[in-house]
Chain A
Amino acid sequence: MATLNIDIEKEQQRVQSELEKQGLRVLVCAGTGCVANGALEVIKKFEEFGVKTGVMSAQDKITIIPTGCHGFCEQGVLVGIPKLKTTYVKVKVEDVEEIVESHIKGGKVVERLLYVDPKTKERIQYDEDINFYKKQTRTALANCGNIDAESLDEALAVHGYEALAKVLIQNDPNAVIDTILKSGLKGRGGAGFPTGLKWKFAAANRGGKSYMICNGDEGDPGAFMDRSVMEGDPHKLLEGMAIAAFAIGADEGYIYVRAEYPLAIKRLRKAIKEAEERNYLGKNIMGSDFSFEIHIKEGAGAFVCGEETALMASIEGERGMPRPKPPFPANKGLFGRPTVINNVETLANVPVIIRKGADWFSSMGTENAKGTKTFALTGEVNNTGLIEVPMGTTLREIIFDIGGGIRNGKKFKAVQIGGPSGGCLTEEHLDVPMDYDNLAKVGAMVGSGGLVVMNEDTCIVEVARFFMNFTQNESCGKCVPCREGTKNLLHILQKIVKGRGTEEDIETLEELSAAIKDGALCALGKTAPNPVLSTLKYFKDEYMAHIRDKKCPAGVCSALKQYTIDETLCKGCTKCARNCPVGAIEGTVKNPHKIDQSKCIKCGACYDACPFKAIKKG
């Protein structure tokens, strides 16, 4: 047992009483999504409005808190007033006055700014009651959207650094590792390796210089959970890193963040500075023997730098190219020293595990995957945004309960999960409890948690092409299977969407994919064929339609698109002919029209113009 010179409980009490003085807290989401929607102007208006009218008298003072991402980006700018149990959505600058006058001063809720349930069409006043939030269990994201991300005091108010204080008092690094091992926490960055085990391997090399790295190089298209943690609750991440560093015996750490996350970098820098000034980081943390210094390394935007060995090469100033494993970083990592590298979300889970115990954490999830997982829900669902659910939640719950179902009443077709290394799943997988093993079994992966929901209008071959294009552009170019192999996969997919595919191409896709999977140097390369393999597995008919029938069933691939007029529905209104930019539509008034396919440029103007839905595409 060690004694500390900071009494964390007393600090928490002090901060609580400070916070009470703030009066009515108005939380305005200032995550990147809401900032893009005008959050900074809303905040300014609130402040300006408040000052002008003098509503902030000492007795009923209001304090505007710019928070990190609240997850429901679809509905931004989000304004939450917890004391009034109200969350306003899609708030614009011009709405601020009404919120203040009507609700804050007058006690009357502004109905028109409340969330409308897409199914029931009911207005819902508080986020706790909105399906999007109701079905979530937020641990890593617990504080995101509820605190001022730029204030250490606010972090302390929500148990910040309590877990670090606990391990420093206990002063038993092995006990920390045991707790994490017991909790069953696995890496949230993609591979799902047991975090405690990773620490244990590195801890075996304790004694010399070693490093703790946080991997914040989030690069999957559409994924932004790590950014949200870094922007919304940076101190939780710093605390998680410090605990990990204490466990493995590291005194220096790096956060590798992509330079495209300027807000995250700004807030992390501020958080590190404040934590160091107040001795929650730096030399002899809280008066203990443990010192830990954190640097920020801005990545230059290479997707491959999210791969741990490439990331370390990048920190060392080398080109970001993966190095073969073994040796594993736990034995020989950054600058040749033992290194643990964990993803942001993984580390954000650490403090709460220490605080509430391994049993609490492992009570959530499935047998082989404990705790919760964040997902970035995007695509054709009603509620897009960032969510966190217990491991084992089904796709159906996520897409239809939290996500509110498919937009515009369309039919669900597939969901792409796990980013460029993941796969496409279909209707038949909607009830699979999502965890590492189950997803791997059906040819996908949890990955970092990107979920792109697709409806019937999506062409699966085009989706595979999109991801392959991404992987090829982002391949580091080091090993032959990935560099040249993905180029050829992409080439074949391009041929198919242009209607020039052959049946042998399917064979080549399969063969080449197998060779890449077996032969590539790093995990990025080994998983690169997944989007092709999973779509081939579940949507072979669609590939064959492109190849044999020269048709894109979803009507997406423009080279294969054909617009035709259903004569039974056409009223001969001539609107299509008038809208056609190339004069490809012939016909006389009140008689069915016809499209000359040799002239048609497949722009879709007739399709959009027809008031009778007589024009069919396919």
Chain B
Amino acid sequence: MTNTLFINGKEVEFTNEPNLLEVIRKAGFQVPTLCYRPDLTQFGACRMCVVEIKYPNGRVMINSSCTTPPEAGTQVFTNTDRVRKIRKTVLELLLANHDRECTTCERSGSCELQKYSKEYDIKDIKYVKKRPEEYLPIDRGNPALVRDPNKCILCGACVRACSEFQGHSVLGFANRGSKTRVQPLNGMALDKVDCVFCGQCKAVCPTGAITINNEIDGVWKALNNPEKKVVVQVAPAVRVAIGEMFGMPVGTNVIGKLYSAMRKLGFDQVFDTNFTADLTIMEEANEFIERFKKGENLPLFTSCCQAWVRYVETQHPELINHLSSCKSPQSMMSSIIKDMLPKTKAAEGYTKDNIVVVSVMPCSAKKAEIKRPQLMTNGQYDTDFILTTQEFAHLIKSAGLDLKDMEEAEADSPFGEYTGAGTIFGASGGVAEAAVRTAYNMLTGENLTNLDIETMRGVDKNSKVKDTVLDIKGTKVKVRVVSTLKEAENSLQEILNGTADFHILEVMACLGGCVNGGGQPISCNDATIKVKRAQALYTEDKELTLRNSHDNPDIKKLYNEYLEKPGSHKAHELLHTSYSDLFKGSYKDLK
């Protein structure tokens, strides 16, 4: 049903918008928000989106537009003196209690508090300033996330993200009054609690209170060291997001320009993680078929998402056997680079000690992944650096380059060629879809006639769980695709209570998969951004001639010349890993 209301005098139609704020934005007006996130529940805490509402009965109210349902016939005013006064007061109060070392802040330039302070011309803060003794220690105790409570404005977005996306509630509110804090249990560091480092808290943080551990300096150092052979790989979801940071339209696939930028930056080899995504499919499809035939350790859990893997290890070690033993595509790439290049490129000076692998990922958890003891060879980490999409954009900018100006280029051989199956890894459902395409071929010797498995697609908040039943020549294979750990936990409970009815469980911790990863450009104010990024991946898949991992000629070559066949001894040595019981106890045990 369509109704109308008035915004600043303009008649506006509304239908099923969840709140007045969305109606206001749809009508082309802007009101500032700090705590509103379209994919999370409305919190109403920051009071920045307050508007004056005149109801048909004459009553005038001031309320937060993010929590107010639109009502027909109301007159809404977004810029009255009263509401501007509230917003200004809120900003001044927040700034008074904020670490205002903006110039050195990771979020300088993308900070929402900074942006509104400018917009509202905050010049003079008359409220009591944060005193030096009120500063709290910064948590830098883990490889992935940095938590600076002195920049926290208590908007609660991270608390909601952790609880509503991940069902995990690593972060919560503590204390009351002006002593209120957001912190993990008892103020412990993130690595001491069961944080999986998905970075969704960071993705929704309006300020620099939660940021990703910045490793740009280390990469520059490697690039500028003539002794080192610096090899870079780039994950599927990066190519459809990084352009945003250079002013390109959302959903632009910039992979060709990205390869160029990488070469210009001085990387010695430019590889594409899409290649090892294809490789993952070969191994994982093979692993699935073996398990399926034996009826062992089903459902098989995908293992590409490190946050998910860590979740299983810390929360459900009893289900570790379900995890695919395949390394993530990122880790597979690092392993084969460090194993193969000293042999194949010895002439060009590659040795087992001078290769530096830099992986450009949409993810914060990958920074923790590479520190896993299982991902070390001869006492050295397989991957040296993870740079997030955001960090890599900064790296490009700090070299004085603009991605827009780069020419199209190709990745290097032998790990640059990829198929459509590899590229869709970046969206929730992509791994399962790619795996099914290849499993079908492995079981029947034929390719699927329709490669678009629409029931596995969708990255918005209504697509967190997607069930698909595939008929492989009479054999039914049931696949469940889940994004967010909260939904994953529901599926795990089904497994534990014996009601699970699926053979493959694909889990991505971030809503919608890697396109919406914690390391991606900030997109938390617009729920459609991740949808457009995913769309760009599916478009590339559609446009590629090769869309099945097993059809990738370089993959075939790699097996023929090096790995023998999926699941071989050599493949196991390089491409598979193990998991450990990281259970630290549950609050339920405290009783």
Chain A residues within 8 Å of B, Cβ to Cβ? 302, 304, 319, 321, 323-324, 326-327, 472-481, 483-488, 491, 508, 511-512, 514-516, 518-521
Contact = CB atoms under 8 A, between A and B. Distances in A.
A324 B64 contact: yes
A313 to B, nearest CB: 11
B47 A481 contact: yes
A326 B69 contact: yes
A372 to B, nearest CB: 30
Interface string B85-127: 1100110011011000000000000000000000000000011
Q: Which of B44, B64, B156, B175 has the most CB of A within 10 A?
A: B44
Contact of B89 (A323, A324, A515): A515
Q: Which of A304, A476, A483 has the most CB of B within 10 A?
A: A483
A518 B62 contact: yes
Interface of B: 42-47, 50, 62-64, 67-69, 82-83, 85-86, 89-90, 93-94, 96-97, 126-128, 153-154, 156, 172-173, 175-180
B93 A477 contact: no
Contacts of A475: 176-178, 180
A158 to B, nearest CB: 41
B120 to A, nearest CB: 13
Contacts of A472: 177-178
B69 A474 contact: no
A326 B68 contact: yes
Contacts of A508: 126
Given A491-B128, A519-B50, A484 B178 contact: yes
A484 B176 contact: no
B172 A488 contact: no
B172 A319 contact: yes
Given A484-B93, A515-B85, A519-B90, A323 B44 contact: yes
A481 B45 CA distance: 9
A479 B178 contact: no
A477 B47 contact: no
B180 A515 contact: no
A519 B176 contact: no
Closest 9 CB pairs of A and B: A477-B180, A324-B67, A324-B44, A484-B93, A519-B86, A515-B89, A487-B178, A475-B177, A480-B90
A326 B42 CA distance: 12
B89 A512 contact: yes
B176 A476 contact: yes
B177 A485 contact: no
Given A478-B154, A519-B86, 13 more contacts: A326-B67, A472-B177, A477-B154, A478-B45, A480-B46, A480-B90, A483-B178, A484-B178, A491-B127, A491-B128, A512-B89, A520-B47, A521-B45
A488 to B, nearest CB: 5
Given A484-B94, A487-B177, A479 B45 contact: yes
A558 to B, nearest CB: 22
B355 to A, nearest CB: 50
Contacts of A477: 154, 173, 175-180
Contact of B97 (A304, A321, A484, A511): A484
A515 B64 CA distance: 14
Contact of A485 (B62, B63, B93, B173): B93
Nearest to B62: A518
A151 to B, nearest CB: 36
A487 B177 CA distance: 8
B177 A473 contact: yes
B196 to A, nearest CB: 22
Contacts of B63: 324
A386 to B, nearest CB: 28
B89 A521 contact: no
Contacts of A485: 89, 93
A302 B176 CA distance: 9
A324 B42 contact: yes
A316 B45 CA distance: 20
Nearest to B44: A324
A486 B46 CA distance: 15
10 contacts: A324-B67, A324-B68, A477-B176, A479-B45, A483-B154, A486-B178, A487-B178, A508-B126, A518-B50, A519-B86
A521 B179 CA distance: 18
Nearest to B87: A519
B86 A515 contact: yes
B64 A521 contact: yes
Nearest to A323: B44
Contacts of B42: 324
Nearest to A481: B47
A478 B43 CA distance: 9
A321 B127 contact: no
Contacts of B64: 324, 521
A502 to B, nearest CB: 11
Contacts of A511: 85, 89
A522 to B, nearest CB: 9
A321 B173 contact: yes
